[in-house]
Amino acid sequence: MLFDVALIPGLAVRDELIGAAEEAAFIERAAGLDLTPFRFQGFTGKRLTTSFGWRYDFDNGRFAETEPIPGWLLPLRESAAAFAGLAQSDLVQAMVIRYGPGAGIGWHRDRPVFDQVVGISLGAPAVLNFRQRTATGFRRVKLPLPPRSAYHLTGEVRREWEHGITAHDALRFSITFRSLASLV
């Protein structure tokens, strides 16, 4: 929330979810991971990713378990869960994303196998864009994401809005935790 007013129902925002020293430690660990280019139906994106707990393969539409969330991410998952009002065990998937200079992510909704989404922004600031289709076009909202901030998507914003990240000029990492939808 900015100025104590919800921008979109189901969207919550918190600045400084973690401190600067924690951020530096998470960035160092994330930078040391074996990240691979994001692939979507044969297209290779500019960002590098890896998933823990569960993995969704966008080339073949498969959803499967993968290696567990590593211990170094558990304190961040605990902070993310507390912010979202969830049990830590609800956040069963983690995705680490490296956005190099010029990288962003286009309009999308997280796959329906996932339910609630908690993202933590590390490194360079970014802008998280939202859009909702209306009868006459799109309703749009821009949300600045300073370093160490977090956002939580549930309800209306999760199901009825798309989101994306504007390309930016400096290195940024995102760590996103997700719960599973009850259908899985």
- Look up the CATH number of the domain holding residue 110: 2.60.120.590
Rounded to 5°, the CA angle 31-50-157 comes to: 110
Cβ atoms of 11 and 157 closer than 8 Å: yes
Structure tokens belonging to residue 55: 């993995």
Whole-model pTM: value is 0.90
In a domain? residue 47: yes
Position 146 pLDDT exceeds 60 = yes
Region 93-119 average pLDDT = 89
In a domain? residue 2: no
pLDDT of residue 16: 96
Mean pLDDT in the chain?
88
pLDDT of residue 132: 95
- 2 or 178, which is more confident: 178
In a domain? residue 129: yes
User: Rg (Cα) of the chain, in Å, rounded?
Assistant: 15
User: Can you tell me the distance from the alpha carbon of 74 to that of 172, in angstroms, rounded to the nearest whole number?
Assistant: 20
Total domain count, the chain: 1
Structure tokens belonging to residue 51: 């998933």
pLDDT of residue 35: 83
Structure tokens belonging to residue 110: 């997280």
Cβ atoms of 130 and 63 closer than 8 Å: no
Region 105-119 average pLDDT = 88
Region 119-147 average pLDDT = 95
In a domain? residue 4: no
In a domain? residue 21: yes
How many C-beta atoms surround the C-beta of residue 131 within 10 A? Answer: 16
Residue ranges making up the domain that contains 145:
11-180
Percent of the chain at pLDDT > 90 equals: 69
Q: What is the pLDDT of residues 58-92, one digit of tens each?
A: 666 677 789 999 999 999 999 999 999 999 999 99
User: Can you tell me the distance from the alpha carbon of 159 to that of 183, in angstroms, rounded to the nearest whole number?
Assistant: 15
pLDDT of residue 59: 64
Measured on CA atoms in the order 120, 183, 86, 73, is the torsion positive or negative? Answer: negative
In a domain? residue 55: yes
Percent of the chain at pLDDT > 70 equals: 88
In a domain? residue 74: yes
